Amino acid sequence: NLTQRLSRVVKTMRGQARLTEANTQDMLREVRMALLEADVALPVVRDFVARVRERALGQDVVGSLNPGQALVGVVHKELTALMGGDQSAEAGELSLAAQPPAVILMAGLQGAGKTTTTGKLAKWLSEGGHVQHGRKTGKKKVLVVSADVYRPAAIEQLRTVAAQVHVDFLPSDTTQKPEDIARAALDHAKRHHYEVLIVDTAGRLGVDEAMMREIRALYDLLDPVETLFVVDAMQGQDAVNVAKAFADALPLTGVVLTKLDGDARGGAALSVRHVTGKPLKFVGISEKLDGLEPFHPERMAQRVLGMGDIVSLVEQAQKNVDIAEAQKLAAKLKSGNRFDLNDFREQLQQVKKMGDMGSLLEKLPAQFAQAANQLQGGQAEKQLRRTEGILNSMTPAERAKPELLKASRKRRIAAGSGVPVQEVNRLLAQFEQMQGMMKQMKKGGMAKMMRAMGG
C-alpha cells in the first residue's frame, strides 16, 4: 500500500540534499503504483502525479525536511485535497432549506444502490439524524416515490424499503411516464406538507442517452435542492466515465458512494471526486437500511490507500534518526569513551540533515537542547554552517582531544573556517559545558539517559 511504498522511498532518499527530477521520479512511481492498485482511474492518477511533481519541484527542501519527507508531505496534502478534505464541512450535509418540499433526486446506474440509499436517507432524515452547520435539523416528514417504470420490481422494492423505515411511499406504476409520476409526487407532497420528497429513478446497465434525457427532464421539472449521484465503490476504473456522463448531464450537488462494506479498495471515491468536483456526502456501508454514514475524507483516504497516518510517518522518520543517534551515543558512553568533538560534529550533521531545528530541539535531551539552542539565535542554519566549518577545520585528533587546542591551533582553525578566534573559543566553551552534562548523564545511569533521550 501507499504507506509501505512511501516509507521505502523516504528511507532511500534519506541523506539526499534536495528533491531532484530523478529522486522525485522514483517516489512518484511508487505513488502512481499505489493509486492504481487502489483502483483509481488512470487519468486521475496522471493528473494527481503531475500536480504533486509540480508542487514538489517548486519546494525548497533545504532548511525544512529531507527530500523524502518533504515529498510525503506534498503527497499527503494533495491527497486530502483530492478527497475533499477542504470541504469536510459538507460531509453528510444536505441543503434542505428550500420551500417545502425539499426535493432530493437520486441518479446513477442500475444496481448502484439508488433505491437502497433512498430508504437509508429517508430513515436518516425522518429520524432526525441529519445535521447541518453543526446542528440537528430535527425529524423530517419524508415522502418517497419511484420513477423507475421499466422494472415493476423496482417500484415494489421501494415500497418494501419505505415500510421498513416507516416512511410514506407514494405508489406509482409502470404505465405512467416518469415525468407524470414526478409531477404527481410534487403535488402530493405540497398538499400534504411533506418537508422532503425523495425521488428514486431508473438506471441502466451502462450510460445511455435516453436515460440521461429522462433524468434531465425530471431534474427540470422537480428543481431539486439535492441531486445525488449514487455510485458503487466496486466500480473501480469505470466509475470515472459514469461519473463524467452524469456530471455533464446534470448539475449534481453531491455523491453517495455505496457498498464500501465490500472489499472494494474504493479508488472510485478519488476518481469520482476528481471528475465531478462534487463533494462526497455519504457512504453506504451495509445493505441494511441503517448502513449510511456521512463521508469522512481522512477515513476514506486511509481506506483507499491504506495510507495509515502519513503525517506520523514523517514524524517517525525524524524520530528514527534521533533514536539511532541516541543509541550510538549511549553505546559509546557505555564503552567508557567520552563525548568528544567528533560526536558533537556528527550530532550537528544530523541536525543539518534533518533540517527542522525547532522540532529537533524538542526531541533532544533537555541539556543538549539547551546548548544547541544557544546556536539558534534566529539564524540557526547559518550558525550551524559556521559551527560545522570550525569543526571541519580541526583534525580528527583535535576533535577527539580538544585539550590539544592551544592558541596557535585555534588561530589556524579560525583562519581555516573564516571566523574570528573568539568564535572558536565560544564553540569550545559550549562544548565543554555539554561534555559536563554528558558526564552527568552517564553518572545517572544508562536507563536514565535513554529515558532522557526518548529512547
Under the rule (CB under 5 A), what is the footprint of Mg ion? Answer: 114-115, 154
Per the CB < 8 A criterion, the answer to whether 435 and 329 are in contact is: no
Binding residue ranges: 108-115, 200-204, 258-261
Q: Which residues contact 139 (CB under 8 A, 6 or more apart)?
A: 125, 126, 127, 128
Residue 378, Cβ neighbours under 10 Å: how many?
Answer: 6
Using rule CB under 6 A, residue 223 touches ligand GDP: no
Using rule CB under 6 A, residue 286 touches ligand GDP: yes
How many residues touch ligand GDP (CB under 6 A)?
18
Residue choice 92, 284, 297, 355 for contact with ligand GDP (CB under 6 A): 284
Give the three cell numbers for residue 171: 405508489
Q: What's the closest the beta carbon of residue 217 comes to ligand GDP, in angstroms? A: 19
Using rule CB under 6 A, residue 110 touches ligand GDP: yes
Task: To the nearest 10°, report the CA torsion of 92, 96, 97, 98.
Answer: 150
Residue choice 208, 287, 362, 432 for contact with ligand GDP (CB under 6 A): 287
Kindly report the backbone phi and psi dihedral angles of residue 278, in degrees, each rounded to the nearest multiple of 5, phi listed first.
-100, 150
Q: Of the ranges 280-288, 315-323, 337-345, 423-431, which one interacts with ligand GDP (CB under 6 A)? A: 280-288
Cα-based distances in Å from 71 to 54, 66, 233, 269, 450: 11, 9, 29, 23, 31
Name which of 205, 209, 185 is nearest 104 in CA terms.
185
Interaction with ligand GDP in 236-275: which residues (CB under 6 A)? 258-259, 261-262
Binding residue ranges for GTP: 108-115, 200-204, 258-261
Burial 209-243 (b: 16+ CB within 10 A, else e): eebbebbeebbebbebbbbbbbbbbbbbebbbbbb
CA 182, CA 174: separation in Å to the nearest integer? 13
Query: Looking at beta carbons only, is 117 or 387 nearer to ligand GDP?
Result: 117
Query: Looking at beta carbons only, is 155 or 449 nearer to ligand GDP?
Result: 155
Residue 258 interacts, among Mg ion, ligand GDP, none and using kind-specific CB cut-offs from 5 to 8 Å, with ligand GDP
Residue 112 interacts, among ligand GDP, Mg ion, none and using kind-specific CB cut-offs from 5 to 8 Å, with ligand GDP
β-partners of residue 107 are 229
Q: Binding string, 61-100, against ligand GDP, x = CB under 6 A?
A: ----------------------------------------
Task: To the nearest 10°, report the CA torsion of 140, 162, 249, 239.
Answer: 110
Query: Looking at beta carbons only, is 113 or 355 nearer to ligand GDP?
Result: 113
Query: Looking at beta carbons only, is 154 or 196 nearer to Mg ion?
Result: 154
Residue nearest to Mg ion (CB): 115
Q: Which residues contact 186 (CB under 8 A, 6 or more apart)?
A: 101, 103, 197, 221, 222
CA 285, CA 7: separation in Å to the nearest integer? 30
Residue 23 interacts, among ligand GDP, Mg ion, none and using kind-specific CB cut-offs from 5 to 8 Å, with none
Query: Looking at beta carbons only, is 3 or 115 nearer to ligand GDP?
Result: 115
Number of H helices, E strands in the chain: 20, 10
Query: Looking at beta carbons only, is 124 or 431 nearer to ligand GDP?
Result: 124
Q: What's the closest the beta carbon of residue 239 comes to ligand GDP, in angstroms? A: 14
Name which of 286, 290, 236 is nearest 261 in CA terms.
286
Q: What's the closest the beta carbon of residue 11 comes to ligand GDP, in angstroms? A: 38
Residue 235 interacts, among ligand GDP, Mg ion, none and using kind-specific CB cut-offs from 5 to 8 Å, with none
In the complex, the residues that contact ligand GDP under the rule CB under 6 A are 108, 110-116, 203, 258-259, 261-262, 284-287, 291
